[in-house]
Amino acid sequence: MAAKKASPYDAILLDVDDGPSSLLQPGNARIYRREGLQTIKRALTSGGRVAFWAATAEPGLLRDLRQTGFTVEELAVAKHPRAKQKRHRIYLAEKRD
C-alpha cells in the first residue's frame, strides 16, 4: 500500500471568472462542482482555507461548500474603497477534520 501523500497547502485563493453563475470560460465550471470542491479540500492541510471571489452572492456555492464539509463564511466586499455598495463576495471556507 502506498503512503498517503500529505496535503501541501495551508491556503488557496481563487479568483476565477466572475463566480460559478457567471463563467467566462465554461470549462472552469468543474472547479465549483462537488468533485472540484473535494479536490480542493484534499489539497488543504487540516484547518487550511480556500477563498473564492465572486461578483455577486452565490448561495449555491455557499451550500455546496458546506455540504462538502467546509466551515464557510460569506463576506460582502466593495469593488473599491469608495464604493457605496458591497455587491461582491468572498467565500472563506475552512477545512474541517
Q: What's the angle, vertex CA 26, arms to CA 59 and CA 8, rounded to 5?
A: 70
Say which CATH number the domain at 90 has.
Answer: 3.40.50.150
Structurally, how many domains does the chain consist of? Answer: 1
Q: Containing domain of residue 70, as a range?
A: 9-95
Is the residue at 4 inside a domain?
A: no
Name the pTM for this structure: 0.87
Is the residue at 31 inside a domain?
A: yes
Is the residue at 46 inside a domain?
A: yes
Is the residue at 81 inside a domain?
A: yes
Is the residue at 41 inside a domain?
A: yes
Interval 15-60: pLDDT, tens: 989 999 999 899 999 999 999 999 999 999 999 999 999 999 999 9
Is the residue at 13 inside a domain?
A: yes
